[in-house]
Amino acid sequence: MKKLGFIFLLSMFVGGAALAQQKPDMDFKRTEHNFGTIKEELGAVTTQFEFTNTGKSPLIIQRVSASCGCTTPSYTREPVLPGKKGTISAKYSTVRRPGTFNKTITVYTNVPDTVYVLTIKGNVTPKQ
């Protein structure tokens, strides 16, 4: 009976370790984008951050939030399978926002104990 209990505990440990390794992981091509100098009359500028699921299970983006209302994020809504790519877009409104900006987009996923932060920045020149 003791031997059977040990084997059960060992299989639980080994199985648990195997499951722990079956997690998603997110690898971004880049985490920062500099728009440089842009004109206010553009209205808005957009960039995309591409990522790859480098883990062993599907990656799910749970939510994405921007540091202010001037930035609108959008993202891949369906689970991203291992080895596949997805995107997170950030649209920055230039209207009535002359001057330099440095904004963040926070990405929450099913990757354990990890939050990703993306940055957009630039300088908006005022309307003439």
pTM of the full predicted structure? 0.83
Is residue 117 a part of any domain in this protein? yes
> Tokens standing for 17?
């370790």
Please tell me the distance from the alpha carbon of residue 126 to that of residue 47, in angstroms, as a whole number: 21
Is residue 4 a part of any domain in this protein? no
Is residue 15 a part of any domain in this protein? no
Mean pLDDT, residues 34-47 taken together: 97
Is residue 12 a part of any domain in this protein? no
Tally of structural domains, the chain: 1
- Nearest Cα neighbor of 90 from 78, 79, 101, 81 is 101
Please tell me the distance from the alpha carbon of residue 10 to that of residue 14, in angstroms, as a whole number: 6
Is residue 37 a part of any domain in this protein? yes
Mean pLDDT, residues 47-76 taken together: 97
Mean pLDDT in the chain? Answer: 89
Decide: 51 and 90 in contact? Cβ < 8 Å: no
Decide: 71 and 49 in contact? Cβ < 8 Å: no
3-state secondary structure 53-105: ECCCCCECEEEEEECCCCEEEEECCCCECCCCEEEEEEEEECCCCCEEEEEEE
CATH number of the domain where residue 71 is located: 2.60.40.10
Is residue 9 a part of any domain in this protein? no
Note the pLDDT of residue 128.
83
pLDDT above 50 (res 75): yes
Note the pLDDT of residue 107.
98
Decide: 92 and 48 in contact? Cβ < 8 Å: no
Is residue 54 a part of any domain in this protein? yes
| Residue 52, domain extent | 24-125
Is residue 2 a part of any domain in this protein? no
Note the pLDDT of residue 82.
98
Mean pLDDT, residues 22-40 taken together: 96
